[in-house]
Amino acid sequence: MNPCDLAGRGVLITRPAAQAEGLCRLVETAGGRAVRFPAIAIAPVANREPARELLAREWDLILFVSRNAVEQALPLFPRRRLPTEPQLGAVGAATAQALTLAGLAPALMPTGRFDSESLLALPALADLKGRRVLIVRGVGGRGLLGDTLIERGAQLAYAEVYRRTLPVTDAASLLTRWRRDVQLVTATSGEILDNLLTLIGEQGRDLLFDTPLVVISEGTGKTATALGFARVAVADGAADAAVLAALCRIVETTPPL
């Protein structure tokens, strides 16, 4: 059963093109129109050798922060296989699914909200004194997870296996049809929100700020409100179903089109 009827509303989907289809399908199944506008692109790091060397070492625990981390790291492991000796951890459900598809289900994954804070709340990560921990992530990821693990005694390193880039796209055509085609906007990371503002440009900011926005963290929600978004809803996590549920909450308290 669908959580609501989006009643033909257009939803701007800003996830990377290769990762947007699940949410697009949910929106369309719920009676909405998915407006695809990737506001971020994922690419391998230019020099993969440092990550390859780290991934070949022995670790007690390897934590993957995203599906991108799994997909970009897999070709760099020896024999292109996940190691069986260390425990594997995933920040969220999509990351866990990517690990499972790669051959090994993670031993550690949070329940409820899927973020670094929830992962850090797991009892298995409470005391890491002397344990060798590798975080697999993109270039310049959040420091909270690693900083906290170091405080708990971990011998920590980062394998940065991908980079986020600003897509080359022209928003002009989207802006000309915005009021007709876009009634809701999604931004599933702070960087996506930043890129969306850049891509839309000054000429489109008023249109963007007047359109209800769904984000996936309280921090991004506060940022969006401070920027000038008139209405912001925070989803209960990054999963497609959670984003759809937040869209539904907006629709249920908005007059019909």
Say if CB 218 and CB 234 are below 8 A apart.
yes
pLDDT grade for 239, boundaries at 50, 70 and 90: confident
The reported pLDDT for the residue numbered 48 is 97
Identity of the highest mean pLDDT range in 41-45, 51-55, 166-170: 51-55
Helical pair 190-200 and 218-227, crossing angle rounded to 10 deg: 30
Q: Using one digit for the tens of pLDDT, what is the confidence trace for 174-189?
A: 999 999 999 999 999 8
Contacts (Cβ under 8 Å, ≥6 apart) of 195: 14, 39, 40, 166, 167
Check pLDDT > 70 for residue 10. Answer: yes
d(CA 135, CA 113): 19
Q: Using one digit for the tens of pLDDT, what is the confidence trace for 88-143?
A: 999 988 899 999 999 999 999 987 666 788 899 999 999 999 999 999 999 987 78
The reported pLDDT for the residue numbered 131 is 97
Tokens of 89: 């951890």
Q: Could you confirm whether domain 10-40+169-252 is CATH 3.40.50.2300?
A: no
pLDDT grade for 236, boundaries at 50, 70 and 90: confident
Fold equal for 10-40+169-252 and 43-165: yes
The reported pLDDT for the residue numbered 255 is 66
The reported pLDDT for the residue numbered 31 is 96
Per residue, the 3-state secondary structure of the chain, as one string, reads: CCCCCCCCCEEEECCCHHHCHHHHHHHHHCCCEEEECCCCEEEECCCCHHHHHHHCCCCCEEEECCHHHHHHHHHHCHHHCCCCCCEEEECCHHHHHHHHHHCCCCCECCCCCCCHHHHHCCHHHCCCCCCEEEEEEECCCCCHHHHHHHHCCCEEEEEEEEEEECCCCCCHHHHHCHHHHCCEEEECCHHHHHHHHHHHCHHHHHHHHCCCEEECCHHHHHHHHHHCCCCEEECCCCCHHHHHHHHHHHHHCCCCC
pLDDT grade for 1, boundaries at 50, 70 and 90: low
The reported pLDDT for the residue numbered 257 is 57
Mean per-residue pLDDT of the chain = 93
Q: How far is CA 60 from CA 19, 57, 93, 153, 241, in A?
A: 30, 10, 22, 13, 33
CATH class, range 43-165: alpha beta
Quick one: average pLDDT of 40-57? 96
Quick one: average pLDDT of 192-201? 95
Quick one: average pLDDT of 66-90? 95
The reported pLDDT for the residue numbered 217 is 85
152 or 255: which leads in pLDDT: 152
The reported pLDDT for the residue numbered 120 is 92
Query: Cα 20 to chain center, whole Å?
Result: 11
| Residue-range domain boundaries for the chain | 10-40+169-252, 43-165
The reported pLDDT for the residue numbered 175 is 96
pLDDT grade for 224, boundaries at 50, 70 and 90: very high
The reported pLDDT for the residue numbered 169 is 86
- The pTM of the full predicted model, rounded to 2 decimals, is 0.83
